[in-house]
Structure 1
Amino acid sequence: MNMVAGRLYGVGLGPGDPELVTVKAARLIGAADVIAYHSARHGRSIARSIALPYMREGQAEELLKYPLTTETTDHPGGYQGALDDFYAECADRLAAHLDAGRDVVVLCEGDPLFYGSYMHMHKRLAHRYETEVVPGVTSVAGAAAVLGRPLVEHEETLTVLPGTLPAEVITEKLRNADSVAVLKLGRTFEKVRDALAEAGRLDEAWYVERATTASQRIERLKDVDPAGVPYFSLALLPSGSRRDEPREPQGESAWEGVAVVGLGPAGEQWLTPEARQVLAEATDLVGYGPYVDRVPRRPGQMRHRTDNRVEAERAAHALSLAGEGRRVAVVSSGDPGVFAMASAVLEAAEDFPGVPVRIVPGLTAAHAVASRAGAPLGHDYCVISLSDLLKPWEVVADRLRAAAKADLVLAIYNPASRSRTWQVGAARDLLLEHRDAGTPVVIGRDVGGAQETITVTTLGELDPAQVDMRCLLIIGSSTTRATDGGTVYTPRRYPA
């Protein structure tokens, strides 16, 4: 008499909370003859700990212990060869139980066929034995639940990426996706974080660790220390439609034409509610590529990325699109009226008399840097760009002298670039003709960004090598003070 073979079950356990195990999974776990589960070489199994409340005494257990995780191996087939042999040996062990008529439940965190360890057994055994897969709540769904943010809405798409992909692949996919989940962090965390920054989406990203468990952790991903990131964590860029969904403006809020929008110096936290509203309502975004990339993607919205040195062409293109009846947002970093796109659009608009233009202000870099240092702009000040691309250096020098003679605090934009490396030193020397060498100077670099630094020095000790294209300088007046704690301020009262 031939013995009836046992039945194989691949059972999803969900993201970690035992109460998120399905009723069916709990029933099958309790009824199984054999419980199988994977573990690393330490022998501890998260899957078993989740299933334990539903297991019963007397069940046989099969610990499927991986021979390696990320370390090297002397196996002749290399890393993959070692794993293939391991999966084959595990399949043989489970097949022995099945051939003996015993039902086998293979436990799997999350869902068995969603990056699950069970799938390796399924490939080797499902064609030989009666098999059933019991789905489980995925880690992505669990992370969205504890974060309290929708994954996708309306026509959005969800992209799921393993962190083990090459950095350039992750970056490209992040640029073109709506909502995103990046799994398998651990040792890949820094690579994934850098890819998010490169794609202009770091400020959107949340870090969720061990979702739904007692040790779950939720943080803004940019604030996470890479040293403590485990494998069972993920990066989540949830749906933006809760607050940013494109919608038809109604009533008095309706607008048409071109809106020139200030994004602030960096990151979503610097964006004003008005700017957020306009960006959500726009049918088209136009701007320098990295600035466009800072705006969350919205279904149906067209994005027109350009180079940094084509302001006139960019403005004309935006006005032309608006002339076709589209609502166009031209994006600028900081405030669009401060060395940015507002003037370029208004100048080009003279050739498009029927297209209305509105300016949506943003927090400019001078104010952002000043806030980090204290209050160096607390009294009269002026704003000057050191760039001589659009005006002669002689004009820049005359204005520096005039501001120095007038004893104004100076906020200096565009102090240096890859091709302009001498202007900072020249400006320092001009100012020293009229200002004490001990005058406080603030160097703000990448304020609001991942590499933010604030350096307080003096005019006499200002080193041009410290200044690059991502910096803004604030040069104090005769009344500006720097405290021992590094705070810089300019009193509102000027000596009589």
Structure 2
Amino acid sequence: MSVTLGKLYGVGLGPGDPELMTVKAARLINEADVIAYHSARHGRSIARSVAQPYLREGQIEEKLVYPVTTETTDHPGGYEGAIADFYELSAKRLAEHLDAGRDVVVLCEGDPFFYGSYMYMHERLAGRYEATVIPGVTSVSAASSVLGRPLVQRDEVLTVLPGTLPAPELARRLADTEAAAVLKLGRTFGNVRDALAEAGKLDDAWYIERATWGQQRVEPFADVDPESVPYFSLALLPSPAYASRVDGEPAETPAVPAEQVTSGEVVVVGLGPAGPQWLTPEAEAELAAAEHVVGYGPYVARVPQRAGQQRHASGNRVEADRAVESLELAAGGARVAVVSSGDPGVFAMASAVLEQAAAGHGAGVRVRIVPGVTAAQAAASRVGAPLGHDYCVLSLSDRLKPWEIIERRLDAAGAADLVLALYNPASRTRKTQLADARDVLLRHRSPETPVVVARDVGGPEEDVRVTTLGGLDPSTVDMRCLLIVGSSKTRVDDGFVWTPRSY
């Protein structure tokens, strides 16, 4: 005789007020054979207290008591090992009920899949039993509602962060976004406060404790006593556009007359090809002095965060938008650093900024360029001196120029016997260009011509290898690579690749 398996439900209870639970959640709690909930070793469960109005007599209750919360443990696997064993044991207990045909509801504060404890049961059981997740109102939404301010509006970006991140990482991410929620305060409060101050957003942040509960607490974050902060609290940076209106500040920077010269400035800064060891003292000084840092997200992330400095990270294909944004910020009087990897004048942001300035954006704004070590220079240094004589720098990307022009220039450089530094050799959507470029150069070069393939020079995944033009395998090259193709005079001796200065 077969037994019908029970069903597993992860039920979101919302932020704490039992009346903010969904109708479906309340129904399932009342109908379930088994009610499971987590608790600390003191045995009290916040989740159970929220669900209490919807429980009925005769239900089986499974109290899943954490062996540790934040304290140390003598478990051989440490804290992580103790928690992993706990989740395995808890899943086995619930599986016994499911195997017996009993439906199991696992209670979870907030939403089960939003930092919720239920997800650890789901990943262990959902492949064996029918599992359904009932979403709940999150603490972030509840905090916004009790504060009386919207989280985001229009094109603003909301970032949700755990307070357990290191302060420098928190500061970087807080500076990169318009609105934010930082969860898991408690013992991390001081860390979060430092990060908010570092990002220049401490005065805009709010502290919300036990949102929608009877004893909820809402205060400016800067005024909160760290000793009074429980785990069920969060930091909130609500919509800055809304805040600027209700607090009496202009929501947008006023337009500056075209003939008026502003005190603002855009400095386009080259970061070099990788870490801080490639950054020049001049570039470092400009970054420290900037009020705003604008750039492609991974490049902005390389800039050390300074207190009060605002960061504006964006995607890889919006160079013109970045340039306009930087010029408009400077038109309002700000000092703006636009960052590029390598040198900003080599296939990077310097041209984009000057192009938009020429189109009339940021009238009166001064633009300066601060050079950086190029990717070609960095790659060459790893193998010797392949750029020791005349050379050509060429991008294989046909996003901004037709392939016919690239091929014509490759052919000319090949006929002129120039060493070539090839940028942007391949990407996910450009698979054939490098093979075509190799074939063009083979019209003029020996298959034994040295080729340097340099990937992530100066970074954690650095890989530099020397091959030949005939032996080059395009499938081993991606967007993070730079290639140096030697001339007829380029030599490989004792592990060095170099091009003589005499011809």
- Smaller-chain TM-score bracket: 0.5 to 0.7
Distance in 1 of aligned mates of 2:152 and 2:208? 17
Q: Equivalent residue for 1:59?
A: 59
String of CA shifts for 1:420-457, please: whole Å, max 9, x gaps: xxxxxxxxxxxxxxxxxxxxxxxxxxxxxxxxxxxxxx
Q: Equivalent residue for 1:359?
A: none
Letter paired with 1:221: F
**Shift in Å at residue 289 of structure 1?**
2.7
- Give 3-state SS (helix, strand or coil) of 2:84's partner: helix
Letter paired with 1:177: T
Distance in 2 of aligned mates of 1:222 and 1:229? 13
Pairing 1:326–2:361 present: yes
Unaligned regions of 5+ residues in structure 2, if any?
265-286, 294-306, 315-320, 330-334, 339-352, 368-503
Check conservation: 2:176, 2:310, Cα contact below 8 A: no
**Shift in Å at residue 41 of structure 1?**
1.3
**Shift in Å at residue 164 of structure 1?**
0.5
**Shift in Å at residue 326 of structure 1?**
3.1
- Give 3-state SS (helix, strand or coil) of 1:16's partner: coil
**Shift in Å at residue 27 of structure 1?**
0.4
- Give 3-state SS (helix, strand or coil) of 1:211's partner: coil
Check conservation: 1:258, 1:319, Cα contact below 8 A: no
Question: Residues 32 and 258 from structure 1, CA distance in 2 versus in 1: closer, same or farther, beyond 3 angstroms?
Answer: farther
Q: Equivalent residue for 1:14?
A: 14
Identity across matched positions, percent = 62
Question: Residues 232 and 258 from structure 1, CA distance in 2 versus in 1: closer, same or farther, beyond 3 angstroms?
Answer: farther
Check conservation: 2:9, 2:131, Cα contact below 8 A: yes
Question: Residues 327 and 243 from structure 1, CA distance in 2 versus in 1: closer, same or farther, beyond 3 angstroms?
Answer: farther
Distance in 2 of aligned mates of 1:101 and 1:319? 70
Distance in 1 of aligned mates of 2:19 and 2:203? 33
Pairing 1:305–2:336 present: yes
Question: Residues 237 and 78 from structure 1, CA distance in 2 versus in 1: closer, same or farther, beyond 3 angstroms?
Answer: same
Check conservation: 2:14, 2:139, Cα contact below 8 A: yes
Distance in 2 of aligned mates of 1:207 and 1:329? 41
- Give 3-state SS (helix, strand or coil) of 2:95's partner: helix
Question: Residues 328 and 26 from structure 1, CA distance in 2 versus in 1: closer, same or farther, beyond 3 angstroms?
Answer: farther
Letter paired with 2:110: G
Distance in 2 of aligned mates of 1:306 and 1:167? 23
The two structures, once aligned, show a CA RMSD in angstroms of 3.1
**Shift in Å at residue 156 of structure 1?**
1.4
Check conservation: 1:209, 1:217, Cα contact below 8 A: yes
Q: Equivalent residue for 1:179?
A: 179
Check conservation: 1:178, 1:297, Cα contact below 8 A: no
**Aligned pair count?**
296
Letter paired with 2:361: R
Question: Residues 327 and 247 from structure 1, CA distance in 2 versus in 1: closer, same or farther, beyond 3 angstroms?
Answer: farther
String of CA shifts for 1:290-346, please: whole Å, max 9, x gaps: 588748778974355369xxxxxxxxxx9998775335799xxxxxxxxxxxxxx9x
Q: So what's the TM-score if we normalise by structure 2?
A: 0.54
**Shift in Å at residue 249 of structure 1?**
8.2
Q: Equivalent residue for 1:90?
A: 90
Question: Residues 258 and 23 from structure 1, CA distance in 2 versus in 1: closer, same or farther, beyond 3 angstroms?
Answer: farther
Check conservation: 1:149, 1:239, Cα contact below 8 A: yes
Distance in 2 of aligned mates of 1:287 and 1:61? 58
Question: Residues 306 and 127 from structure 1, CA distance in 2 versus in 1: closer, same or farther, beyond 3 angstroms?
Answer: closer
The 5 A counterparts of 1:140-219 are: 140-219=140-219
Unaligned regions of 5+ residues in structure 1, if any?
262-285, 308-317, 331-344, 349-496
Q: So what's the TM-score if we normalise by structure 1?
A: 0.55
Distance in 1 of aligned mates of 2:166 and 2:50? 32
Q: Equivalent residue for 1:221?
A: 221
Question: Residues 249 and 112 from structure 1, CA distance in 2 versus in 1: closer, same or farther, beyond 3 angstroms?
Answer: closer
Distance in 1 of aligned mates of 2:288 and 2:188? 32
**Shift in Å at residue 175 of structure 1?**
1.1
**Shift in Å at residue 157 of structure 1?**
1.4
Check conservation: 1:87, 1:120, Cα contact below 8 A: yes
Letter paired with 1:211: A
Q: Equivalent residue for 2:290?
A: 289
**Shift in Å at residue 254 of structure 1?**
7.3
The 5 A counterparts of 1:374-453 are: none
- Give 3-state SS (helix, strand or coil) of 2:64's partner: strand
String of CA shifts for 1:157-192, please: whole Å, max 9, x gaps: 111100011111111111111111100000000000
Distance in 2 of aligned mates of 1:81 and 1:122? 19
Q: Where do 4+ consecutive residues of structure 1 move more than 2 Å?
A: 243-250, 253-261, 286-307, 318-330
Question: Residues 117 and 258 from structure 1, CA distance in 2 versus in 1: closer, same or farther, beyond 3 angstroms?
Answer: farther
Q: Equivalent residue for 1:275?
A: none
Check conservation: 2:10, 2:108, Cα contact below 8 A: yes
Q: Equivalent residue for 1:99?
A: 99
Question: Residues 64 and 249 from structure 1, CA distance in 2 versus in 1: closer, same or farther, beyond 3 angstroms?
Answer: closer
Letter paired with 1:326: H
String of CA shifts for 1:198-224, please: whole Å, max 9, x gaps: 111111111100001111111100000
Q: Equivalent residue for 1:37?
A: 37
- Give 3-state SS (helix, strand or coil) of 1:63's partner: strand
Question: Residues 20 and 211 from structure 1, CA distance in 2 versus in 1: closer, same or farther, beyond 3 angstroms?
Answer: same
Q: Equivalent residue for 2:463?
A: none
The 5 A counterparts of 1:110-129 are: 110-129=110-129
- Give 3-state SS (helix, strand or coil) of 1:76's partner: coil
Q: Equivalent residue for 2:343?
A: none
**Shift in Å at residue 49 of structure 1?**
0.7
